[in-house]
């Protein structure tokens, strides 16, 4: 089918002891198309200054990945049905919880897509069906055990 690559690069600051666990978690993600993203652990997990709130943390990236995948499928199904999407916004939210085994995991992701159409718009049932098809088509959603809720705004 296809293969996807990302490089994750971290380097120790030369004067960081490392074994005291007080090293920077800032790193970068490099993608095959040339995009470079500043990344870090979440400040909710590793306190400042060892993490950087300006960097994208893995949990945020996970939520954004699910949201982006869902959006791309909604756009596909809307175009296929002859509807013109003017804008799409999602205020996606991921919820970390402790599992029965004591490990933390992303237990739930809520997508809140707000889709606006030019001209004729699908009725509520048709739009809901597009979201359902998009959810089941999303490669990322099909790859995780997390409960993913889709709660369209409109």
Domain membership of residue 20 as a residue range: 1-56
> Domain end: 56, 75, 99, which one?
56
Find the length of the chain: 154
Tens of pLDDT, residue by residue over 60-82, are 999 999 999 999 999 999 999 99
Give the pLDDT score at 32: 93
Q: For residues 48 and 69, state if they share a domain.
A: no
* H helix or E strand, kind and range, residue 129: helix 124-137
Q: For residues 46 and 63, state if they share a domain.
A: no
Tell me the CATH number at 29: 3.30.300.20
**Which among 98, 104, 115, 105 is positioned nearest to 150, based on CA atoms?**
115
Tens of pLDDT, residue by residue over 88-109, are 999 999 999 999 999 999 999 9
Give the pLDDT score at 76: 98
């Amino acid at each position: 089918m296809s293969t996807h690559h990302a490089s994750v690069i971290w380097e120790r600051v030369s004067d960081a002891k490392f074994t005291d666990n007080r090293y920077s978690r800032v790193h970068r993600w490099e993608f095959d198309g040339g995009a470079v993203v500043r990344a870090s652990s979440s400040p909710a997990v590793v306190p400042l200054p060892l993490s950087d709130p300006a960097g994208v943390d893995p949990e945020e990236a996970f939520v954004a990945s699910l949201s982006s995948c869902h959006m791309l499928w909604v756009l596909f199904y809307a175009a296929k049905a002859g509807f013109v999407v003017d804008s799409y916004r999602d205020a996606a939210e991921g919820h970390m919880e402790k599992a029965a085994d004591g490990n933390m995991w992303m237990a739930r992701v809520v997508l809140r897509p707000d889709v606006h159409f030019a001209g004729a718009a699908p009725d509520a049932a048709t739009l809901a069906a597009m979201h359902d098809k998009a959810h089941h088509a999303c490669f990322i959603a099909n790859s995780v055990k997390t409960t993913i809720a889709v709660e369209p705004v409109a």
